[in-house]
Chain A
């Protein structure tokens, strides 16, 4: 299994739709997980952190299934401004100190009017 693997994109959805992205990871010792958003030719920006079973922030919900080593990101009521590439990020190695991050290849979302 790859260190971090994501759904291939692009996902084309209309405004208002609900869309879900999946991500699997290989490091069973990982305790924290992240979803980053990256706009074209820009740096990644942290969208959500996931430390326990899940996390919700407005229209965004991230869920974690440790047994299956699987993380998901759900976006409800999609907006045009949600169009971006969503990166699943998992720390490599021990969960102490400053951790190296492993990035998935990203899933591209295109929200249309």
Chain B
């Protein structure tokens, strides 16, 4: 089946630093990928839609200058959390829909757990 990978799986950083998270579709091409954030005991919240070859679109309330998204190729999207602060600590998950599946079934990466000290 389709596989989506994320790297790193967890990261601890100091406040004020930037962190890059990679999302890769391993056996299919993904022109669109989605980035989600999940705080403890809450559900996944969509942050942005990553589009290969064009700018990402952000959900209301998500700062585009803080969460930089680059969809560099048909299999890779990156999310950079700039000047991270403790409130950015969360579980970040990407997903990629597969166009040849019924209703574009989405496959999720294993997630990246970010802790900002």
Contacts and interface: CB of A to CB of B under 8 A. Distances in A.
Interface in B77-117: 91, 93, 95, 97, 99, 102-106, 108-111, 113
B43 A103 contact: yes
A42 B106 CA distance: 16
Interface size grouping (class) on chain A: 20 to 34
Contacts of B110: 42-43
A46 B109 CA distance: 12
Interface in B28-57: 32, 34, 42-46, 49
Contacts of B103: 31-32, 49, 51, 91, 95, 99
Interface size grouping (class) on chain B: 20 to 34
A94 to B, nearest CB: 12
Interface of A is mostly: loop
B43 A100 contact: no
Contacts of A100: 34, 46, 49
Most buried by A among B32, B43, B97, B111: B43
Given A41-B113, A87-B43, A106-B43, A99 B104 contact: yes
Contacts of B32: 98
26 contacts: A32-B103, A41-B91, A41-B113, A42-B110, A42-B111, A43-B93, A43-B108, A44-B93, A51-B102, A51-B103, A87-B43, A95-B103, A97-B104, A98-B97, A99-B103, A99-B104, A100-B34, A100-B46, A101-B34, A101-B46, A102-B46, A103-B43, A103-B44, A103-B45, A105-B43, A106-B43
Given A43-B110, A46-B105, A46-B106, 8 more contacts: A31-B103, A32-B103, A41-B113, A51-B103, A98-B104, A99-B104, A100-B49, A105-B42
